[in-house]
């Protein structure tokens, strides 16, 4: 409403003395309520408040509250509101600062525990401290334990790079493609001139010509390839998964969920090992394409020479098992006849602290390492996806932008619940409210 002659707007201004008197009145009511009959028998200070008598009453330049702090009971709504005020005043950080500022005016029994409790039940602090609660580590897939199968029968594939190569007077980019055997942990490296689907089909043809047709290929989702540059993350989307399946119908393709590179740790770990060796071999500048093509097989052989088992030092006759034993017969490539007795590996069962899994209607925060924490998207779990062992591995989340699928390790559940009686809410599917502690 505008302030005109016909519609004058009046403003009521509350003075500081009025606010101070109201505050002291609340403190006195709080003391009368909690201490009861003892309130009239104890000698009260100014304005009838119970205060702590100290030894600095003659000090000058300090307030009365500092010389004689006001006594407040811990388990009272007024005391909780005062602690919450100081907690918000210092932006939800540093509990010791809140304790120090409050004790300069109030005498509260168990003040530090009270401040911790206020911080613990604060919803904004809960949202800031919320972290994903990953489920129990799943069992090894059957492909990792497939004995008596050909090498690279079950293969994982990933890109790495790019590499800036010199061709004449121009510079072009090349990418590395790593194929890793899920069973014997051997690697096969090819070089790709682009990130298109046709280029990957040529690389796959070269791999099949040398290693045979795999039964199943595992790879990242087309929109979630991890690399050293943003070009790799942007251009890899052009690789069509449907074209690959149509071109090689005899191969079973398996793609991990988006934004879950941890599910592809088999090939991600190999990429790291390959990069560490390449950084020591490749020149710092002026890399030619033929040098890169000659270096990648050398790196492949080095990676396949790594021991898979414990290296014994007690006996010179025994030798550690390497991927080259399955490919070449021994670790250095000298082909010799001999029997290779491979026994079934024994798995150690490690205790895992179980926790309540994600369930439908839970309010969660979607963790994104590429964004700031206070901009992470919130949503409501609509459905959960379980693995072959019954553990919940990913979930369908309803956000303001629609439905998305994310792994459980990227979902941090909030202490909120959806009100089923409402059909519309801030998160696209019902009102949410904080759970009572």
Kindly report the CATH number assigned to the domain that includes residue 230: 3.30.420.10
Q: What share of the chain is helix, strand, coil (3-state, %, to 5)?
A: 35, 20, 45
Q: Are 53 and 60 in contact (CB under 8 A)?
A: no
What pLDDT is stored for residue 177 in this prediction?
A: 92
Q: Specify whether the CB–CB gap between 226 and 360 falls below 8 A.
A: no
Position 258 scores a pLDDT of: 73
179 and 106 in a common domain: no
Question: What does the block give as tokens for 336?
Answer: 């010799």
Are 54 and 168 members of one domain?
Answer: no
Examine residue 140 and state whether it is found in any structural domain, yes or no. Answer: no
- Residue that finishes a domain, picked among 99, 121, 143: 121
264 shares its domain with 171: yes
Let me know if residue 9 belongs to a domain.
no
- In the chain (437 residues long), the average pLDDT of successive 10-residue segments reads 59 75 85 75 63 82 84 89 92 90 90 92 89 83 85 90 86 91 92 84 88 85 39 49 66 76 80 88 84 90 87 73 86 61 50 76 90 89 90 91 91 76 48 50
The model's pTM is 0.56
Q: Give the range of the structural domain holding residue 298, as residue numbers without chain letter.
A: 152-304
pLDDT of residue 34: 81
Q: Is residue 354 part of a domain?
A: no
Q: What is the CATH number of the domain that holds 381?
A: 2.30.30
Beta-sheet strands, E only, within 61-153: 70-72, 106-108
Number of domains in the chain: 3
d(CA 166, CA 173): 9
Co-location of 161 and 216 in the same domain: yes
- If asked whether residues 184 and 105 sit together in one domain, one would say no
Residue 307, token pair as written in the block: 């021991």
Confirm whether 352 is domain-assigned.
no
- For residues 195 and 238, what is the distance between their CA atoms, to the nearest angstrom? 7
Is 172 inside a domain boundary?
yes
């Amino acid at each position: 409403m505008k302030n005109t002659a016909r519609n004058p707007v009046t403003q009521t201004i509350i003075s500081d003395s009025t606010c101070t008197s109201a505050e002291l009145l609340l403190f006195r009511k709080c003391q009368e309520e909690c201490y009861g009959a003892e309130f009239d028998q104890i000698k009260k200070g100014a304005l009838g408040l119970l205060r702590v008598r100290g030894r600095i009453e003659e000090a000058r330049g300090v307030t009365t509250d500092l010389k004689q702090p006001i006594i407040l009971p811990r388990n009272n709504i007024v005391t909780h509101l005062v602690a919450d005020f100081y907690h918000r005043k210092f932006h939800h950080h540093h509990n010791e600062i809140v304790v120090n500022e409050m004790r300069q005016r109030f005498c509260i029994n168990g003040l530090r525990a009270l401040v911790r409790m206020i911080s613990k039940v604060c919803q904004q602090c809960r949202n800031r401290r919320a972290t994903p609660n990953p489920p129990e580590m799943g069992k090894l897939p059957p492909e990792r334990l497939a004995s008596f199968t050909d090498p690279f029968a079950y293969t994982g594939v990933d890109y790495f790079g790019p590499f800036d190569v010199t061709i004449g007077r121009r510079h072009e980019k090349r990418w590395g493609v790593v194929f890793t055997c899920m069973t014997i942990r051997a690697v096969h490296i090819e070089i790709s001139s682009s990130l298109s689907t046709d280029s990957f089909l040529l690389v796959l043809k070269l791999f099949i010509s040398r290693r045979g047709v795999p039964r199943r290929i595992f790879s990242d989702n087309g929109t979630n390839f991890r690399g050293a540059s943003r070009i790799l993350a942007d251009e890899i989307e052009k690789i069509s998964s449907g074209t690959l399946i149509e071109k090689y119908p005899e191969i079973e393709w398996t793609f991990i969920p988006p934004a879950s590179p941890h599910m592809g740790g088999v090939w991600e770990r190999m990429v790291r090992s390959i990069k560490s060796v390449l950084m020591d071999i490749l020149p710092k500048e002026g890399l030619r394409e033929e040098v890169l093509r000659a270096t990648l097989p050398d790196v492949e052989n080095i990676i396949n020479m790594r021991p898979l088992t414990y290296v014994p030092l007690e006996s010179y006759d025994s030798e550690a098992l390497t991927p080259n034993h399955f490919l070449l017969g021994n670790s250095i490539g000298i082909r010799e006849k001999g029997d290779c007795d491979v026994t079934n590996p024994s798995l150690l069962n490690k205790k895992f602290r179980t926790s309540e899994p994600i369930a439908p209607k839970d309010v969660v925060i979607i963790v994104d390492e590429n964004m700031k924490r206070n901009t992470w998207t919130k949503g409501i779990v609509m459905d959960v996806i379980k693995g072959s062992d019954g553990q919940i591995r990913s979930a369908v989340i309803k956000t303001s932008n629609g439905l998305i699928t994310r792994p459980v390790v990227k979902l941090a559940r909030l202490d909120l619940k959806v009100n089923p009686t409402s059909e519309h809410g801030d998160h696209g599917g019902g009102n949410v409210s904080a759970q009572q502690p």
